[in-house]
Chains A and B, each alone.
Chain A
């Protein structure tokens, strides 16, 4: 059974850097084909894909946020970390990490974490 859980600060100040950790179980990010992604959702708004990291350390970023995002993995600790710099109030959102579906579904997330709400405010 695959599970994921996000952790990090609930509030950051404008211009600060946000660091979120996704701790997962039920799979290994060192196994061929595995990948974990980050998606966010501002209050009352749509989902927005942010970043993805593959088992071979290949990385993908949303073009609109690429300059502010860094995704890394620690396979020994079963964790994926997302760093977002220069936070602004419009970055206020629930941030989800999710497992990419292995069987088919090139860009499908089959298991999601519960999400963590981050507020950007001074």
Chain B
């Protein structure tokens, strides 16, 4: 059982927007703005998409955005494209182990 809770799957049509949630506790997501999101295509290494809740690394499309409310962080992908189909993982700093924990992952299907 993963420490951060994500939906197992989400789907959307090209051009639409989708949101993936990541629910933690007051020991991690709720107390720290250190939430990251990673995209992973099959057989590939994860790629950083969002860090510190809302920041985008250089080179990441502005169609990807992050937010947080209480113990839940969210990743929103707008203008969905076929290439966005992948697994997405959230991660957060946690005071319980003084480093990071991951979510269980969400499979995004572009219909």
Q: Interface on A for B, CB 8 Å cutoff? A: 39, 46-49, 52, 60, 62-63, 96, 101, 104-110, 112-115
B52 contacts A107, C-beta separation under 8 Å = no
Nearest 5 pairs of A and B residues by beta carbon = A107-B100, A105-B51, A112-B45, A108-B51, A107-B93
Name the interface residues of B4-27: CB closer than 8 Å to any CB of A: none
Chain B interface main SS type? strand
Most A C-beta atoms less than 10 A away, residue of B2, B34, B48, B100 = B100
Chain A interface main SS type? loop
B46 contacts A108, C-beta separation under 8 Å = no
In angstroms, Cα B34 to Cα A52, docked, is: 16
In angstroms, Cα B34 to Cα A105, docked, is: 6
A109 contacts B48, C-beta separation under 8 Å = yes
| B69 at interface, CB cutoff 8 A | no
Residue in contact with B51 in the complex, picked from A46, A47, A52, A104, CB distance below 8 Å: A104
In angstroms, Cα B2 to Cα A62, docked, is: 13
Residue in contact with B103 in the complex, picked from A46, A104, A107, CB distance below 8 Å: A46
A112 contacts B99, C-beta separation under 8 Å = no
